[in-house]
């Protein structure tokens, strides 16, 4: 590391995931400071001129700790590309593809990664009738952290009502996969082969792995490494690596899976989505997996920022 490299950490933002981004950013700032970087925090507003001003003078690199709309969908990446500032994680195109769940599923499908069949329906139409036989999952096409996700169980008399969806919002409807929740972190730098870290099984008492469970202590148990058959473990690692490479991701990602353990080997293993800005909070999954692989939290953060790429 060059002495006193100037790094701006983007944290907060304007998405529904603002609060968890602030926690991720706090951890990243503390880690980079401990490693000797000259660190500045910047909470970007939804204003292009203000963002440009907040990144002037230009830092040596930007650590993008934003989550969700604006920070994870290619928007901030495009701004940084135009400004010629190196930044962490995936570029504009990969970020936009990954954030669009149906598109991401189609792309990873070309690499042989299976996912539940789904359909897109508008929020205005979802309440008229069941779009597919229950049980099924309804989720916004472009949100993260399980924001706006609901499960419709077997025997439900009525189709779902909106938990805050906009009337013109597009929703992805997928069959609900019974079984267990698995997740895999992947690391790579441009020009290097992607490396899957580990498989974590997430156990929780709530209906599904929602926002509260993901980011609140005491709601979920992380089994690391997951106690599952070797064929499923290695299959999840390979699927996550393939998804990361097919979409063109760099830095770190986290791919989420459901595994129907009533089926043999990987027959019941399904890709759900890929996160190009996985959480960096003290209880987040990727830092735990990196620790298992021999990287401390601070070392992981340093590895990420030293891989920051100028895509201008």
Check which CATH number belongs to the domain holding 59 and give it. 3.40.50.20
Q: Is the same domain home to 206 and 145?
A: no
* Catalytic choice (256, 258, 297, 307): 256
Q: Is the same domain home to 196 and 269?
A: yes
Q: Is the same domain home to 270 and 200?
A: yes
Domain contains 305: no
Q: Which of 175, 205, 223 is the last residue of a domain?
A: 175
Instruction: Reply yes or no on whether 71 is catalytic.
Output: no
**Nearest partner of 183 among 199, 195, 194, judged by Cα:** 199
**Nearest partner of 64 among 85, 84, 36, 82, judged by Cα:** 85
Determine the pLDDT at residue 201: 97
CATH number for the domain that contains residue 218: 3.30.470.20
Instruction: Reply yes or no on whether 215 is catalytic.
Output: yes
Q: Is the same domain home to 166 and 28?
A: no
Domain contains 73: yes
Tokens for 278, please give them: 């996985």
Domain contains 294: no
Determine the pLDDT at residue 308: 94
Domain contains 303: no
Domain count, the chain: 3
- CA–CA separation, 111 and 271 (whole Å): 12
Instruction: Reply yes or no on whether 299 is catalytic.
Output: no
Instruction: Reply yes or no on whether 64 is catalytic.
Output: no
| Rounded alpha-carbon distances, angstroms, from residue 310 to 66, 83, 131, 307 | 18, 10, 44, 10
Q: Is the same domain home to 227 and 263?
A: yes
Tokens for 110, please give them: 């070309």
Domain contains 307: no
* Catalytic choice (145, 146, 188, 255): 145
Instruction: Reply yes or no on whether 17 is catalytic.
Output: yes
Which residues span the domain enclosing 254? Answer: 96-115+178-276
Instruction: Reply yes or no on whether 129 is catalytic.
Output: no
74-127 confidence digits (pLDDT tens) = 999 999 999 999 999 999 999 999 999 999 999 999 999 999 998 898 887 877
Find tokens 């999954």 and name the residue. Answer: 285
Contact call for residues 147 and 211 (beta carbons, < 8 A): yes
Determine the pLDDT at residue 124: 79
The continuous run of DSSP H or E covering 285 comes out as helix 285-292
Domain contains 202: yes
Q: Is the same domain home to 183 and 268?
A: yes
Q: Is the same domain home to 102 and 204?
A: yes
Q: Is the same domain home to 167 and 193?
A: no
The mean per-residue pLDDT over the stretch 224-238 comes to 98
Q: Phi then psi for 82, rounded to 5 degrees? A: -65, -40
- CA–CA separation, 275 and 99 (whole Å): 8
The angle that helices 18-34 and 297-306 make with each other, rounded to 10 degrees, is 90
Domain contains 58: yes
* Catalytic choice (37, 215, 270, 297): 215
Instruction: Reply yes or no on whether 254 is catalytic.
Output: yes
Domain contains 292: no
Instruction: Reply yes or no on whether 273 is catalytic.
Output: yes
174-187 confidence digits (pLDDT tens) = 999 999 999 999 99
Q: Is the same domain home to 83 and 100?
A: no
* Separation of first and last alpha carbons in the chain: 22
């Amino acid at each position: 590391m060059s002495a006193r490299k100037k790094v701006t950490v983007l944290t907060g933002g304007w998405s529904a995931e603002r609060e968890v981004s602030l926690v991720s950013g706090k951890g990243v700032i503390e880690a980079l400071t401990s490693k000797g970087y000259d660190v500045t925090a910047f909470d970007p507003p939804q204003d292009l001129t203000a963002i440009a001003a907040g990144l002037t003078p230009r830092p040596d690199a930007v650590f993008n700790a934003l989550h969700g709309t604006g920070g994870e969908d290619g928007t901030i990446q495009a701004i940084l590309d135009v400004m010629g500032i190196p930044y962490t994680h995936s570029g504009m195109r990969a970020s936009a593809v990954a954030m669009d769940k149906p598109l991401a599923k189609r792309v990873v499908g070309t690499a042989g990664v299976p996912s539940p069949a789904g359909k897109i329906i508008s929020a205005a139409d979802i309440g008229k009738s069941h779009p597919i036989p229950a049980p099924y999952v309804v989720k916004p096409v472009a949100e993260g952290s399980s924001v706006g996700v609901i499960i419709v169980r077997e025997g439900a008399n009525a189709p779902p009502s909106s938990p805050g969806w906009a009337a013109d919002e597009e929703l992805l409807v997928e069959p609900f996969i019974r079984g267990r929740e698995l997740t895999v972190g992947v690391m790579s730098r441009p020009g290097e082969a992607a490396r899957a870290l580990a498989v974590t099984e997430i156990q929780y008492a709530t209906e599904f792995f929602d926002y509260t469970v993901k980011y609140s202590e005491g709601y979920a148990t992380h089994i690391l490494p997951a106690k599952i058959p070797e064929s499923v473990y290695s299959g999840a690692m390979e699927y996550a690596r393939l998804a990361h490479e097919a979409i063109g991701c760099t830095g770190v990602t986290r791919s989420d899976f459901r595994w129907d353990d009533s089926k043999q080997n990987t027959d019941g293993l399904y890709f759900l989505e890929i996160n190009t800005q996985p959480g960096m909070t003290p209880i987040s999954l990727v830092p735990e997996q990196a620790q298992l692989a021999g990287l401390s939290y601070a070392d992981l953060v340093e590895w990420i920022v030293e891989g920051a790429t100028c895509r201008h």
